Amino acid sequence: MEKIYIGNVGIEKTAALAPMASVADRAYRLICKQFGAAYCVSEMISSKGLCFGDKKTAELCTITDEERPCALQIFGEDAYYVSKAAYLLNAYSPDVIDINMGCPVPKIVKSGSGSALMSLPKTAEEIVRQTVKNSCCPVTVKIRAGRDAQSINAVDFAKRMEQAGAAAVTVHGRTAKQMYSGKADRQIIADVKKAVKIPVIGNGDVDSAEDCVQMYKKTDCDLVMVGRATYGNPWIFEQIDMYIRTGTLPPPKTIRQRMEIMLRHAQLMIENKGEEQAMKEMRHNVIWYVKGIRGAAALRRECSEIKEYSQLEKMAAGVIAADTEN
């Protein structure tokens, strides 16, 4: 399998798991890695939260060997705090430190972080330059096409990030104003790829193995990143891996297999967070796992009441039994 390199970090050229707040926690990364995700990026970590010793922020930083290669993603608007956070992250031995300059969520943008930095290229350059000085691993940047349709600047911005020392750039083909609506523009990713020498990771709307290959062909990107298509479907990485290697797809997961994977996911969450917290956070994952299953509406209502793993086991057994009868 062909590899790309971010600095000295080798990554198989299949697909990576996108950083998704309140979704891509350690259990989520592990379940995706088990199905072949080539690379993972953590949930966003506040640079100031880390610098000021916030316990919850620090908990986001731990990486297990099974997740590697894995990046820790930080955000912030101040070069001093972002670079200091990178220095503190060295203690967690990330393979890569990624700086989020593409998040469109209003509360992040209002603080001057995330996609707000795409309108402040000099500030963004200084953040990257100082972070590279303080990091013991490669530093990458995640960006969008621009703030809005009237300010598409991904190409110029990516060139500036490269000059500041970024080892790779991830490009989501939407503007910040689009949030997650409309369609990602893959031509923007292709344009960035032509403009820089560092690796370019393409992100936006990849929802199948076939579409992953189309992203590679359309953009010539070095790696494809998958986000929302992994919801309740971590085996999409298995499909992508097999399709790239052989041109064929594995058989679809049976209802039994889907429920078994869901339970394995829940077990991983319990190991990391304890049963009470894990089952609370697992509810949205359960909704994704049962999507498209007969009686899904009733299952969604049921999962809102789940507080213990045994309840989830009972639900899964009922789903399997109903499928067997049909």
Give the Cα separation of 37 and 40 in Å (integer).
Answer: 7
Residue type, 321: A
- Whether residue 119 contacts residue 151, with contact meaning beta carbons closer than 8 Å, is answered with yes
- Name the active-site residue from 103, 137, 212, 221: 103
Burial of 74 per CB tally in 10 Å (0-12, 13-18, 19+): buried
Q: What single DSSP character describes residue 63? A: -
Is 103 designated active site? Answer: yes
Burial of 156 per CB tally in 10 Å (0-12, 13-18, 19+): middle
Question: Who contacts 43 (Cβ-Cβ below 8 Å, separation ≥6)?
Answer: 19, 20, 21, 22, 23, 24, 25, 60, 73
Buried b (16+ CB within 10 A) or exposed e, 220-233: ebbbbbbbebbbbb
Catalytically active residues are 103
